[in-house]
Amino acid sequence: MSQREHFGSRFAVIAAMAGSAVGLGNIWRFPYVLGEYGGAAFILVYVAASLFVALPIFYAESVIGRRSRLDTYGAMRKLAPGSAWKWAGLLTVVSPLLILSYYSVVGGWSVEYLFKSLSYSFTGNSTEAEVQNFFPQFISSTWQPLVSHTIFMAMVAGIVLGGIKKGIERFSKVAMPLLFVLIIVILAYAISLPGSFAGVEYLLKPDFSRLSADAVAAALGQAFFSLSLGVGTVLTYASYVKKDENLMVSGVETAVSDLVFAIIAAFAVMPAVFAAGIAPGSGPGLVFQTLPFIFNKMGQGMPLLSYLISISFFVTILAAALTSAISMLEVGVAFLVDEKGFKRRSATLLLAFCTWLIGVVCSLSFGPLSEVKLLGLTFFDFLDKLCSNWLLPLGGLVFTLFVGWRMKKADVHDEFTNAGSCNRRTFPIIYILIRYVAPIGIAIIFLSSLFL
């Protein structure tokens, strides 16, 4: 096996880790989920879930990854030799590829919308009916979504082919600062829209009567989805982190970056939703149906500004989708390179093709295959529910139990504190959160999937 690559700097580590976390979960998923569960009150629960449940799981994955310097399967095999833990590690090789198969379909939507923005489709040249009907017509067609899905997967594979420093690190160091700048520009415009203040109010005034056990479980699930936990992406990236990097600082900066971006995204999307008179709980199509309507409206009076803002928004969505997608593909690539002796090029192309193939079926489930059901769900919805409600929490449970109950406490302490040189006072608190609090949070997600 060739010498393992590593990230070149601390900024590269934060950019890559935050890039894995900041993605469609923040821009596409978070606004419509908080819309379904009451706005400001949901945000407070989400912040608590991120800091006290998701962050400890992030640390658990980081400890395993850097301690082993291997993929998820190899990490378990190395740190628990002769045990069955390696098969649990194999689960987290498969699950991110399944997620990527339908995630890339949504990523393809952002590609199509970027093309539409570039071709002046959302700058007042279309009627309101045409703009409102574009999304359902697009996703239910056969070829357009498949072409967009293919372009997106080709972009993901191209970045991963470049390796850690020339591919993932280089892209993340440019994409992450760009993402924050673009989303702030969009926020500034969104809150200037007539009627947008109702959306701002919705995000600032908590209505705790809207909170329920279902909402708490949804906040926990969103924290998992947003931070890319339980699928080995954090573990795999941590295996490329140098031994002198401070894991606690990297984790806090990643979690805070993810939280800040999600909240900014909510303030960029929700005021526009209220300005358009659309219900905040409109579901997964919220962003793709609302924003083109706003851009088209703005284009009737300010076509150039509408053109630039619409392009900026969909560049932001595409970049966010790519930063997360490359981390998912890298999990499987690391497995084939570490365990099976594949060259990076062969591993990347093989897994990209397999993932693309499953994604084809997911895409067609909105159109020609919409009547084909698995347990009453379309193929896209089935994979989304399987991964979000079961595989992600299960992977998170595996990692927390492994670090909290299987690994020696001295080894965990050694890794988290860099052999006692940092984080010594905070370690006992983090260890308790990993061992007891995080598993309880995961159990709540499982119970909600069964009974709510």
pLDDT tens profile 14-65: 666 666 666 677 777 788 788 778 788 888 999 999 999 999 999 999 999 9
SS3 7: coil
DSSP 8-state assignment for residue 58: H
Task: Provide the pLDDT confidence category of residue 295 given band limits of 50, 70 and 90.
Answer: confident
Which domain range does residue 387 map to? 10-451
**Contact 399/433 with Cβ under 8 angstroms?**
no
Query: Quick check: is 5 in a domain?
Result: no
With 0-12 CB in 10 A as exposed, 13-18 as middle and 19+ as buried, what is 189?
A: buried
Looking at 77-91, 114-128, 236-250, 323-337, which range is the least confident one?
114-128
Query: Quick check: is 80 in a domain?
Result: yes
pLDDT of residue 315: 83
> How many structural domains are present in the chain?
1
**Distance from C-alpha of 414 to C-alpha of 39, rounded to nearest angstrom:** 41
SS3 52: helix
**pLDDT mean over 419-423:** 90
**Contact 313/290 with Cβ under 8 angstroms?**
no
Classify residue 303 as left (phi > 0), alpha (psi -120 to 50) or beta: alpha
With 0-12 CB in 10 A as exposed, 13-18 as middle and 19+ as buried, what is 291?
A: buried
Closest CA relative to residue 96, chosen from 330, 283, 316: 330
Query: Quick check: is 284 in a domain?
Result: yes
pLDDT of residue 14: 64
If you average pLDDT over every residue of the chain, what do you get? 85
Query: Quick check: is 129 in a domain?
Result: yes
**pLDDT mean over 136-161:** 93
Query: Quick check: is 2 in a domain?
Result: no
pLDDT of residue 359: 97
Task: Provide the pLDDT confidence category of residue 215 given band limits of 50, 70 and 90.
Answer: confident
**Contact 57/400 with Cβ under 8 angstroms?**
yes
Query: Quick check: is 4 in a domain?
Result: no
Query: Quick check: is 172 in a domain?
Result: yes
pLDDT at 74 over 70: yes
pTM over 0.85: yes
CATH code of the domain containing 406: 1.10.4160.10
**Distance from C-alpha of 380 to C-alpha of 282, rounded to nearest angstrom:** 18
Task: Give, in degrees to the nearest 5, the angle at Cα 48 between 66 and 16.
Answer: 35
Task: Provide the pLDDT confidence category of residue 96 given band limits of 50, 70 and 90.
Answer: very high
pLDDT of residue 168: 67
Contacts of 60 (CB under 8 A, 6+ apart): 399, 400, 402, 403, 404, 434, 438
Closest CA relative to residue 114, chosen from 307, 290, 266, 293: 307
Looking at 177-181, 293-297, 345-349, which range is the least confident one?
293-297
Could you give the angle at which helices 55-68 and 213-227 cross, rounded to 10 degrees?
30
Q: Please report, to the nearest 10 degrees, the dihedral formed by the alpha carbons of residues 392, 395, 400, 402 taken in order.
A: 180
Contacts of 178 (CB under 8 A, 6+ apart): 319
Task: Provide the pLDDT confidence category of residue 308 given band limits of 50, 70 and 90.
Answer: confident
Task: Provide the pLDDT confidence category of residue 1 given band limits of 50, 70 and 90.
Answer: very low
- Tell which wins on pLDDT, 122 or 235: 235
SS3 365: coil
Query: Quick check: is 291 in a domain?
Result: yes
CB atoms within 10 A of CB 155: 19
**Distance from C-alpha of 176 to C-alpha of 161, rounded to nearest angstrom:** 20
**pLDDT mean over 2-7:** 62
Closest CA relative to residue 403, chosen from 438, 374, 442: 438
SS3 74: helix
What's the gap between Cα 416 and its chain centre?
25
Closest CA relative to residue 255, chosen from 7, 49, 35: 49
